[in-house]
Structure 1
Amino acid sequence: METLKTELKENIIEQLNLEEFTVEDIADNDALFGEGLGLDSIDALELIVMLDKDYGIKLTDPLEGKEIFKSIEVLATYITANRKK
């Protein structure tokens, strides 16, 4: 799962143009929204597209997304359990 976490960090930095961050800057349990990386609702949409494109996971429930996007740790666990690709 460590490889997946690193891959997620790299993808998030690239997809959301977070040039000020490196993989090492993002701890597995850092919040992705608010106090952590400071992502917003537009970023959430980008993450939803990334889940579909890269892992074959379609999110349709916004509340589910809110839970899944808490941290890299939570996101990686969800992907491991639900990935289609």
Structure 2
Amino acid sequence: MSTLKLQIKQLIIDALGLEDITAADIDDDQPLFGEGLGLDSVDALELGLAIQKRYGIKIDADAKDTRNHFSNVNSLAAFVTAKQPA
């Protein structure tokens, strides 16, 4: 597991107060919302703010592809990597 993916999993757990799970419990391809991890729209806002703060990137909540970036850990990791300065 890459360091970034592990950091994102831990950020999800810490930012959302998911005390009953560990990073190892979150599959890289597991959906974060609905049937997967079970996050909701409030969780999405909190997670978005945590990612912006942690990685210093801007997230446009109104962008069409933002929902896709937050679909699972793999897509979040790719998004963060693409948005970080070179």
Quick one: distance in 1 between partners of 2:63 and 2:17? Answer: 23
Q: Give 1:53's aligned amino acid.
A: K
Match in the other structure for 1:63:
64
- C-alpha displacement of 1:47: 1.3
Q: Give 1:29's aligned amino acid.
A: D
More helix by share: 1
Query: TM-score of the superposition, structure 2-length normalised?
Result: 0.89
1:47-66 per-residue CA deviation (whole Å, 9 max, x = no partner) reads 11012101122122253321
Match in the other structure for 2:22:
22
Match in the other structure for 1:10:
10
Q: Give 1:11's aligned amino acid.
A: L
Which contiguous aligned blocks of 4+ residues in structure 1 show a shift greater than 4 angstroms?
Answer: none
Quick one: distance in 2 between partners of 1:67 and 1:30? Answer: 13
Q: Report if the CA contact (8 A) 1:48-1:58 is conserved.
A: no
Q: What RMSD over aligned residues (CA atoms) do the two structures have, in Å?
A: 1.7
Q: Report if the CA contact (8 A) 1:32-1:71 is conserved.
A: yes
Query: TM-score of the superposition, structure 1-length normalised?
Result: 0.90
Provide the identity percentage: 48
Residue ranges of structure 2 left out of the alignment (5+ in a row): none
Quick one: distance in 2 between partners of 1:39 and 1:63? Answer: 19
Quick one: distance in 1 between partners of 2:50 and 2:66? Answer: 13
